[in-house]
Amino acid sequence: MEHKEYKAINKSVRKKDAMQLLLGKPVYTDDIVPDNALVVKLLRSPHANAIVASIDTKTAKLVPGVVDIYTWEDVPTERFTNAGQTFPEPSPYDRMIIDRHVRFVGDVVAIIAAENEKAALKAMKLIKVEYEKLTPVLDFRTAKDNPILVHPEDNWVPTVDVGGSNKRNLVASDSNSSGDVEGVMADCDIVLDRTYHTKAFNQAMMETFRTYTSLDRYGRLHVISSTQIVFHVRRILSHALGIPKNKIRVEKPRIGGGFGAKQSSVSEVYPAFVTMKTGRPAMIIFTREESQIAGSPRHEMQVRVRLGANKDGKIRVLDLYTLSNSGAYGEHGPTTVGLSGHKSIPMYTGSLEAYRFDYDVVYTNTMAAGAYRGYGATQGIFAVETTVNELAEKLGMDPTVIRDINMLKEGMQMPAYYNEIASACALDRCLEHCKEMFHWDEKYPVRDMGNGKVRTAGVAMAMQGSGISNVDVGSATVKLNEDGDYILIIGAADMGTGCDTILAQMVAECMDCSVDKVSVFGADTDASPYDSGSYASSTTYITGKAVEKACADLKKRMCSIASDILECSEEEIVFDNGLLRQIDTDKTVTTREIGCKAQVNNTKAAEASASHSSPVSPPPFMVGMVEIELDKLTGEVTILDYMSVVDCGIPINPALARIQAEGGIVQGIGHTLYENIQYDKKGRPIENSFMQYKLPTRLDMGNLKVEFEHSYEPTGPFGAKSIGEIVINTPAPALAHAIYRATGVWHRELPITPEQIAMSKPE
């Protein structure tokens, strides 16, 4: 089905919050909360694995301005998870607000509540702690069945059986396959067996973790936080604090970046605990160092790929084993790992005869990992795509040709993707379009530029998903005001992605009005309809469909009210070009008249709510190509061009979609060339600021160009799929490919630094 010419959809309209942000208006958490809150600071463990033998807070409590200091002796003993995920919660309950057993450098030892920051910091220095130091498990390759247990406690709670066991340092474990993997592998002309290692990467969002809490006039806990998951935060706080959910209200203002970090409840519980103890407002703001050493970074993974193919380039079998490092706690561990296989193997459905995908997720005494844009697909796609590029090089084939032979095409069933049908897939057109736009045939050959510098190119393709099938719920309420305008109330969180604007465009399209006539409110657990939150690339696809449903229901309600005004039957009224018209007459009713009538002698609400969940998660697709100049003497990689073509169905707002793609590409470049989380021999993090943790700047990204190939997803709103996450997945394999072309060396560990490039020799 081809898309029609829309009035508000597929248009690059200005973001709803653009002017407030550009003019520096108060929109973020720290801007809008009262300034009378207690300052909350956290004393953190200097040891990777230890027991708090004793803690003396007497002297610290005497510091003027200190209200109280809380330790493991003061908190509830029930365990919970910080993971912002829908029921049934797959992550184990393995956290406490403060645990006597600290499990990584940065784990919380004490909560300090003070009138001001100076007093809190002074008190922190005066707290005396004696630790019983234990041997840490730092290498995730040795964690499984290690005699040293990260979680030896008996009250470790696996809420869902995902194959985990705290007595084996296992968060999760699983295996699935289709076909005779070993039989097909034995019959292949060429078999590649390669192992890849991706480090943990920090989201490094501009706004660090922060939360304000207070008691409202009814004695309920009111939480204002920079979070992607207001409803999940409410549930997490209820579990952690032992108070009913109806006594908690969570809202979010503008979010200064999340990228998945704020899909975990990293900061909320600490000021909430202080408020419940003192009855006073409390505020915590993580420093940049805290966000770097005690945040929620990407899972470090080791991915082994076995690929079997024929000499003609046909890829017949893929076998993946992923080992994932969840760190000290298990949040998001059972779910991220699945994407490393389920979002990489299906891209080669066109030729695969068999596949196998096994994984283990382990605990170690390092910072707990969490959600990060790409959510495991990034790591798996790096491994699979790099192996495919190596196959092409070994066979002397153009890597774009080998993909064209093997790739998934529209209408195919994907056994490695829960047997879903690729009902909207323009991956082949993305490759063709990108190849032409990039001038692949000219840039792919290695060109000696003199002075030790060479230029060449690399390619990769990617897929992701659109929400979590049979799990995620999106909801929307659309209300008609008496002036004939609309208000959209959502529980999804706009974290700079522009979802407020995109969902407003959908209302405008449905209700035949301009986007300016749609106001957006959210997210607030008291006022918003339930929504899983903004993660898993779900908002446009899942919540967008809920908006469509709510608008359809509202139209029916408006037709009913119009029939009262025109004194005719409801069946005689149609919604036509923003007006309510009586069939076969010239009589019309405006939305303003409906809005006014709804408030006078009326029993029919001029508003509608709808929820949506999907049994499928249609993948968006992307092809990325990069041209680099590499200095063989220094190992420096300069990106000249990065071009990509994305299939996200119908882009609701092409400008915002393009910005999403550009941002994701830059993050992927950062992961590949610069960013690195490292620990010393005692488990202490080395990169605790932006002085050490290097991020790409505008000068590092070269010329970016993003274009789109439309497909039409029948289960999505107006044919749309997601775009938020897929865009981060192609830079790593494309850059690794280009670096190989320039040097003759395959780098299978990220990041690929100039030192590694300069010191490596061809095999």
For residue 495, name the pLDDT band (cuts at 50, 70, 90).
confident
Of 388, 414, 38, give the one whose Cα is nearest residue 192. 388
Residue 165 is assigned to a structural domain of this protein: no
For residue 6, name the pLDDT band (cuts at 50, 70, 90).
confident
Residue 195 is assigned to a structural domain of this protein: no
Residues 128, 390 contacting (CB under 8 angstroms) = no
Residues 316, 309 contacting (CB under 8 angstroms) = yes
Residue 307 is assigned to a structural domain of this protein: yes
Instruction: Kindly state whether residues 514 and 438 are assigned to the same domain.
Output: no
Per-residue pLDDT tens over the stretch 317-368: 999 999 999 999 999 999 999 999 999 999 999 999 999 999 999 999 999 9
**Sequence-distant (≥ 6) Cβ neighbours of residue 16 within 8 angstroms:** 500, 501, 504, 520
Q: Taking 60 as the threshold, does the pLDDT of residue 2 lie above it?
A: no
Interatomic CA distance for residues 741 and 738, integer angstroms:
5
DSSP state of 528: S
**Sequence-distant (≥ 6) Cβ neighbours of residue 392 within 8 angstroms:** 313, 398, 399, 401, 402
Per-residue pLDDT tens over the stretch 500-524: 999 999 999 999 999 999 999 989 9
Residues 256, 228 contacting (CB under 8 angstroms) = no
Interatomic CA distance for residues 75 and 77, integer angstroms:
6
User: What's the token pair of residue 762?
Assistant: 């061809």
Of 314, 378, 308, 304, give the one whose Cα is nearest residue 344. 378
Per-residue pLDDT tens over the stretch 401-440: 999 999 999 999 999 999 999 999 999 999 999 999 999 9
Three-point CA angle 179, 182, 183, nearest 5°? 75
**Sequence-distant (≥ 6) Cβ neighbours of residue 516 within 8 angstroms:** none
* Most distant pair of Cα atoms in the chain: their distance: 86
Q: What CA dihedral angle connects 14, 15, 20 and 24, to 10 degrees?
A: -90
Last residue of a domain, one of 581, 612, 643: 612
Question: Strands 518-521, 573-576: parallel, antiparallel or unpaired by DSSP?
Answer: unpaired
Interatomic CA distance for residues 568 and 120, integer angstroms:
70
Phi/psi of residue 208, nearest 5 degrees: -70, 175
- For every residue of 687-749, which 3-state class applies, written as one string? CCCCCCCCCCCHHHCCEEEEEECCCCCCCCHHHECCCCCHHHCCHHHHHHHHHHHHHCCCCCE
Q: Where does 241-313 show beta strands of DSSP type E? A: 248-251, 282-285, 300-309
Residue 374 is assigned to a structural domain of this protein: yes
Question: Strands 607-612, 621-631: parallel, antiparallel or unpaired by DSSP?
Answer: unpaired
Instruction: Kindly state whether residues 398 and 510 are assigned to the same domain.
Output: no
Of 621, 622, 625, 620, give the one whose Cα is nearest residue 704. 625
146 CB-side CA count, 13 A? 21
Interatomic CA distance for residues 282 and 112, integer angstroms:
11
Instruction: Give me the percent of the chain exceeding a pLDDT of 90.
Output: 95
- Classified as helix, coil or strand, 760 is coil
Q: Taking 80 as the threshold, does the pLDDT of residue 664 lie above it?
A: yes
Instruction: Kindly state whether residues 309 and 247 are assigned to the same domain.
Output: no
Three-point CA angle 335, 341, 345, nearest 5°? 150
Residue 738 is assigned to a structural domain of this protein: yes
Of 694, 709, 693, give the one whose Cα is nearest residue 644. 709
Of 427, 165, 181, 461, give the one whose Cα is nearest residue 320. 181
Other beta carbons less than 10 A from residue 259's beta carbon: 27
What pTM did the predictor assign? Answer: 0.96
Q: Where does 87-186 show beta strands of DSSP type E? A: 101-102, 108-114, 128-133, 170-178
Interatomic CA distance for residues 73 and 218, integer angstroms:
29
Three-point CA angle 503, 668, 422, nearest 5°? 55
Instruction: Kindly state whether residues 605 and 553 are assigned to the same domain.
Output: yes
Instruction: Kindly state whether residues 640 and 695 are assigned to the same domain.
Output: yes
Q: What CA dihedral angle connects 374, 379, 172 and 363, to 10 degrees?
A: -110
Interatomic CA distance for residues 575 and 584, integer angstroms:
14
Instruction: Kindly state whether residues 402 and 281 are assigned to the same domain.
Output: no
Per-residue pLDDT tens over the stretch 146-192: 999 999 999 999 999 999 999 999 999 999 999 999 999 999 999 99
User: What's the token pair of residue 270?
Assistant: 């600490």
Q: What is 583-650 written as a DSSP string?
A: TTSS-EEEHHHHHHHTTSS--S-SEEEEEE--S--PPPEEEEEEEEEEETTT--EEEEEEEEEEE-BS
User: What's the token pair of residue 548?
Assistant: 């469509």
What stretches of 343-493 show up as alpha helix (H) in DSSP?
A: 377-395, 399-406, 427-438, 440-443
Q: What is the CATH number of the domain that holds 652?
A: 3.30.365.10
Interatomic CA distance for residues 666 and 664, integer angstroms:
5
- Classified as helix, coil or strand, 414 is strand
Instruction: Kindly state whether residues 221 and 85 are assigned to the same domain.
Output: yes
Tell me the β-bridge partners of 631.
453
Instruction: Kindly state whether residues 553 and 642 are assigned to the same domain.
Output: no
Residue 66 is assigned to a structural domain of this protein: yes
Residues 323, 376 contacting (CB under 8 angstroms) = no
Q: Where does 248-374 show beta strands of DSSP type E? A: 248-251, 282-285, 300-309, 315-327, 354-363
User: What's the token pair of residue 158?
Assistant: 């696996």
Instruction: Kindly state whether residues 599 and 645 are assigned to the same domain.
Output: no
Q: Taking 50 as the threshold, does the pLDDT of residue 1 lie above it?
A: no
User: What's the token pair of residue 201?
Assistant: 């990467």
Last residue of a domain, one of 293, 317, 340: 293
User: What's the token pair of residue 673?
Assistant: 């060339």
Interatomic CA distance for residues 622 and 730, integer angstroms:
8
Of 252, 234, 681, 759, give the one whose Cα is nearest residue 493. 252
Q: Taking 90 as the threshold, does the pLDDT of residue 269 lie above it?
A: yes
User: What's the token pair of residue 127?
Assistant: 């707290």
Residue 560 is assigned to a structural domain of this protein: yes
Of 264, 263, 265, 282, give the one whose Cα is nearest residue 273. 282
Q: Taking 50 as the threshold, does the pLDDT of residue 600 lie above it?
A: yes
Last residue of a domain, one of 568, 596, 612: 612
The number of distinct structural domains making up the chain is 3
**How far lies 696's CA from each of 235, 652, 672, 739, in Å?**
36, 29, 10, 18
Interatomic CA distance for residues 200 and 195, integer angstroms:
17
Instruction: Kindly state whether residues 312 and 431 are assigned to the same domain.
Output: yes
Helix (H) or strand (E) run with residue 581 in it: strand 579-582
Phi/psi of residue 269, nearest 5 degrees: -70, -25
Residue 170 is assigned to a structural domain of this protein: no
For residue 4, name the pLDDT band (cuts at 50, 70, 90).
low
**Sequence-distant (≥ 6) Cβ neighbours of residue 553 within 8 angstroms:** 608, 609, 610
**Sequence-distant (≥ 6) Cβ neighbours of residue 439 within 8 angstroms:** none
Interatomic CA distance for residues 81 and 88, integer angstroms:
12
User: What's the token pair of residue 45?
Assistant: 């463990």
Question: Would you give the end-to-end CA distance of the chain in angstroms?
Answer: 50
Interatomic CA distance for residues 261 and 371, integer angstroms:
6
Which range is least confidently modeled, 38-42, 366-370, 494-498? 494-498
Structural domain containing residue 606: 18-26+468-612
Instruction: Kindly state whether residues 624 and 722 are assigned to the same domain.
Output: yes
Interatomic CA distance for residues 589 and 562, integer angstroms:
6
Q: What is the CATH number of the domain that holds 266?
A: 3.90.1170.50
Interatomic CA distance for residues 332 and 658, integer angstroms:
28
Instruction: Kindly state whether residues 572 and 698 are assigned to the same domain.
Output: no
